[in-house]
């Protein structure tokens, strides 16, 4: 009897397993996107007065993040809900559409097939609430002015031409987003004049955030439907927000003034006889050091200049926290170098020692340059200079080493304004071997002799490698690798690239790239690598 029962249980398990549904194997993967077979209203319908739009497809579909991906132009400010039902998607709008206007609904990749999630291609619906369709069109490309790379998913907007345009508060009337090649196209728009502006629009609110979003613009109003040219917009960062003191950080040893954005330089004027050492950290943090004796508080005037060259004045009271206990706890003194430790050095080189505190005393007899562990030369034998804040020492040095160059910095040879020092430090660098590096040489052609140019070599990540301020350039001791060559038109002759400002109708300084990437091999010279500027 037990055997019969056991046999019956086994059979039931086998039959149950056989009855389970499993996904069939084999066969071709569905790679065909869903096709729109009908819509309500029909594409290019005139005199549409409804509040519901419905799309019908040839297969089952799903909706993917439609609130972010559906672009409706002109900007309707008309909330909607959607319903997906098998092979159809319906959108119900809260209000009727504006009268006598052509609307375009561009769905992007918001609707996909159910099985393989293939997005419907070029899914767009156009209709008019008036008796005709608007036929204006503008198109073009976006790229980053610093890298020359196309910008994906940026917003290109057409704004009404007014004297009070504020893109931090006003949304564009028509807009589109760029594809992966940086290409945009805005169609079925009214044929009239617009202001064309592009923004990153990272949070997709269609408003410009100057602190962390790039922007670009066409200086003159564009005429939709009459201009046949492609518009090429170069985007750039331009933080034009007012400079403010964001907060202060009082401590026993120091007092920091933190600005709301990075500043290029700051001038400090002490309003009484007291003075304090200070330095600018990380571009935003102005730190004053508590060096006795000094009053309980010190009043200073600050003139801070931001990256746009705008200077702003502040008055600030510097007041340190009172000391508790007998011993003052200091932040340790740290440093960095340029070049970095272990980077090869040529026989003649410029060296920077960058310290975290202003320095009150340095013993240039004890600090020595050691050549191949045999020759010791004191720092005093070389030309050196301090920056204005006395925390960066620049050294012009020379060595005849064959293998290695070392800096020997004994403990106590560098004393900060707080009275502390570095521990005994060795900085070692191999001697640069010519055969491990290459040379790139050329000139800029077609250049206006009255224009100041800057030639730059950058790597594949657009990190700056070398700079030349003459048009016949030579870049020596370049590591093997791939590089780009670019030319900056230095309009204001300040030997740096300057960004643009839309409020002043000022475009960024132009940057021209050599179209082809440069491949440099070790122990190799590339001559006549010339850049021809457009006329």
Calculated CA dihedral for residues 456, 459, 460, 463, nearest 10 degrees = -80
Q: Which two tokens stand for residue 501?
A: 């400002």
pLDDT at residue 291, rounded to an integer = 87
The continuous run of DSSP H or E covering 518 comes out as strand 518-520
Over the stretch 221-242, which tens digit does the pLDDT of each residue have?
999 886 678 999 999 999 999 9
Euclidean distance between CA atoms 475 and 453, whole angstroms: 16
Q: How confident is residue 504, by pLDDT bands cut at 50, 70 and 90?
A: very high
pLDDT of residue 68: 86
Query: What is the fold of 437-532?
Result: Immunoglobulin-like (2.60.40)
| Residue 54, strand partner residues | 40, 90
CA atoms within 13 A on the CB side of 460: 8
Each as own residue / partner, the long-range contacts of residues 447-452 (CB below 8 Å, 24 or more positions apart, any chain) are 447/471, 447/533, 451/489, 451/490, 451/491, 452/489, 452/490, 452/491, 452/493
**Whole-number pLDDT of residue 12:** 45
- In CATH, the number for domain 335-432 is 2.60.40.1220
Whole-number pLDDT of residue 10: 42
Backbone angles phi, psi at 452, to 5 degrees: -85, 130
Q: In the β-sheet with 375-378, what is the strand arrangement from edge to edge?
A: 375-378, 368-371, 404-409, 425-430
Distance between alpha carbon 396 and the CA centroid of its chain, in Å? 34
- Joined together, the tokens standing for residue 302 give 């600050």
User: Which range (225-234, 401-410, 466-475, 525-534) has the least confidence?
Assistant: 225-234
**Is 325 buried (19+), middle (13-18) or exposed (0-12) by CB count in 10 A?**
exposed
Same fold, 36-128 and 335-432: yes
Stretch 23-29: mean pLDDT, rounded?
53
SS3 162: coil
Other CB atoms closer than 10 Å to residue 500's CB: what's the count?
Answer: 22
What is the CATH topology of the domain spanning 136-235?
A: Immunoglobulin-like (2.60.40)
Average pLDDT over residues 346-360: 95
Helices and strands (DSSP H and E) totals, the chain = 2, 43
Query: Residue 526: enclosing H or E segment and its boundaries?
Result: strand 525-526
- State the residue for tokens 């990749």: 109
Instruction: State mean pLDDT over 264-286.
Output: 92
Cα separation, 305 vs 316, in Å, equals: 16
- DSSP letter string over 53-86? EEEEESS-EEE-SHHHH-EEES-----EEEEEET
Measure the CA–CA gap between 171 and 176, rounded to whole angstroms.
Answer: 12
Residue appearing with tokens 């900060």: 416
Using CA atoms, how far apart are residues 491 and 414, in angstroms rounded to an integer?
42
Q: In the prediction, which pLDDT does 229 show?
A: 82
pLDDT of the residue at 27: 53
Six-digit token string for 421 = 């020092």
How does pLDDT run across 149-187, given as a tens digit for each residue? 999 999 999 999 987 899 999 999 999 999 999 999 999
Could you give the CA distance from residue 320 to residue 328 in angstroms, rounded to a whole number?
Answer: 13
Q: Categorize the per-residue pLDDT at 28 as very low, low, confident or very high, splitting at 50, 70 and 90.
A: low
Least confident of 44-58, 68-82, 83-97, 469-483: 68-82
Measuring CA to CA, which residue among 157, 161, 185 is closest to residue 173?
157
Task: Report the percent of the chain where pLDDT is more than 70.
Answer: 93
Distances (CA, A) of 221 to 142, 157, 176, 194, 382: 17, 12, 18, 5, 59
Cβ distance 308 to 506 under 8 Å? Answer: no
Mention every residue, 6+ apart, whose C-beta is less than 8 A from residue 268.
278, 286, 300, 301, 302
Let me know if 298 is exposed, middle or buried by CB neighbors in 10 A (0-12, 13-18, 19+).
Answer: buried
Q: In what order do the strands lie in the sheet with 285-289?
A: 245-250, 254-259, 285-289, 278-281
Please provide the average confidence, as pLDDT, over all residues in the chain.
90
| Span 416-420, average pLDDT | 93
Query: Which pLDDT score, from 0 to 100, does residue 64 have?
Result: 93
The domain spans of the chain are 36-128, 136-235, 245-318, 335-432, 437-532
User: Is the CB of residue 451 less than 8 Å from the CB of residue 489?
Assistant: yes
* β-bridge mates for residue 73, sequence order: 104
- Dihedral Cα 58, 42, 93, 204, nearest 10 deg: 70
pLDDT at residue 30, as a whole number: 66
Q: What is the mean pLDDT of residues 175-200?
A: 94
Question: b/e for 70-87, b at 16 or more Cβ within 10 A?
Answer: bbbbbeeeeebeeebeee
Q: What's the topology of domain 245-318?
A: Immunoglobulin-like (2.60.40)
**Residue with the two structure tokens 């594409």:** 43
Query: CB-based burial of residue 508 (10 Å sphere; 0-12 exposed, 13-18 middle, 19+ buried)?
Result: buried
pLDDT, greater one: 374 or 53 = 53
CB of 155 within 8 A of CB of 175? Answer: yes
Q: For the whole prediction, is pTM greater than 0.95?
A: no
* φ, ψ of residue 502 in degrees (nearest 5): -65, -35
In CATH terms, 36-128 corresponds, of 2.60.40.1220, 2.60.120.560, 3.20.20.70, 3.10.20.600, to 2.60.40.1220
pLDDT at 24: 46
**What is the model's pLDDT at position 7?**
47
């Amino acid at each position: 009897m037990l055997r019969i029962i056991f046999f019956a249980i086994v059979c039931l398990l086998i039959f149950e397993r056989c009855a389970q549904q499993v996904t069939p194997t084999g066969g071709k993967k569905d790679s065909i996107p869903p096709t729109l077979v009908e819509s309500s209203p029909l594409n290019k319908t005139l005199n549409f007065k409804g509040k519901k739009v419905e799309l019908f497809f040839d297969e089952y579909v799903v909706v993917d993040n439609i609130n972010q991906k559906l672009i409706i132009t002109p900007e309707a400010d008309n909330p909607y809900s959607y319903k997906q039902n098998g092979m159809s998607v319906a959108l119900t709008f809260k209000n009727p559409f504006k009268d006598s206007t052509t609307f375009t609904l561009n769905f992007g990749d918001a609707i996909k097939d159910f099985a393989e999630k293939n997005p419907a291609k070029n899914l767009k619906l156009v209709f008019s609430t008036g008796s005709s369709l608007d036929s204006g069109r503008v198109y073009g490309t976006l790229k980053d002015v610093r890298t020359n790379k196309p910008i994906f998913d940026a917003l290109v907007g057409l704004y009404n031409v007014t004297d009070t345009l504020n893109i931090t508060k006003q949304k564009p009337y028509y807009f589109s987003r760029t594809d992966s090649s940086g290409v945009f196209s805005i169609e079925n728009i009214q044929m009239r004049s617009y202001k064309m502006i592009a923004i990153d629009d990272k949070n997709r609110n269609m408003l410009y955030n100057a602190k962390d979003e790039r922007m670009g613009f066409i200086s003159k109003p564009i005429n939709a439907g009459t201009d046949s040219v492609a518009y090429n917009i170069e985007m750039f960062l331009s933080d034009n927000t007012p400079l403010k003191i964001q907060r202060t950080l009082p401590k026993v040893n120091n007092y920091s003034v933190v600005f709301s954005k990075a500043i290029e330089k700051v001038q400090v004027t002490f309003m009484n006889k007291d003075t304090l050492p200070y330095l600018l950290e990380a571009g935003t943090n102005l730190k004053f050091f508590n060096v006795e004796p000094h009053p309980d508080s010190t009043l200073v005037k600050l003139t801070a200049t931001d990256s746009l060259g705008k200077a702003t004045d502040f008055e600030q009271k510097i007041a340190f926290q009172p000391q508790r206990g007998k011993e003052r706890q200091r932040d340790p003194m740290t440093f960095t170098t340029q070049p970095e430790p272990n980077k090869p050095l040529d026989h003649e080189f410029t060296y920077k020692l960058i310290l975290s505190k202003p320095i009150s005393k340095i013993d240039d007899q004890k600090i020595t340059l050691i050549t191949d562990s045999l020759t010791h030369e004191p720092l005093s034998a070389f030309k050196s200079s301090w920056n204005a804040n006395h925390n960066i020492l620049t050294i012009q040095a020379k060595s005849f080493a064959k293998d290695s160059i070392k800096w020997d910095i004994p403990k106590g040879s560098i004393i900060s304004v707080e009275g502390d020092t570095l521990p005994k430090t060795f900085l070692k660098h191999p001697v640069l071997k010519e055969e491990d590096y290459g040379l790139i040489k050329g000139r800029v052609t077609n250049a206006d002799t009255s224009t100041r140019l800057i030639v730059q070599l950058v790597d594949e990540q657009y990190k700056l490698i070398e700079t030349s301020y003459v048009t016949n350039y030579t870049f020596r001791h370049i590591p093997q690798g791939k590089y780009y060559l670019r030319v900056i038109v230095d309009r204001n002759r300040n030997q740096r690239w300057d960004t643009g400002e839309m409020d002043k109708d000022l475009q960024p300084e132009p940057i021209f790239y050599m179209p082809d990437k440069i491949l440099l091999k070790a122990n190799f010279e590339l001559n006549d690598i010339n850049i021809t500027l457009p006329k």
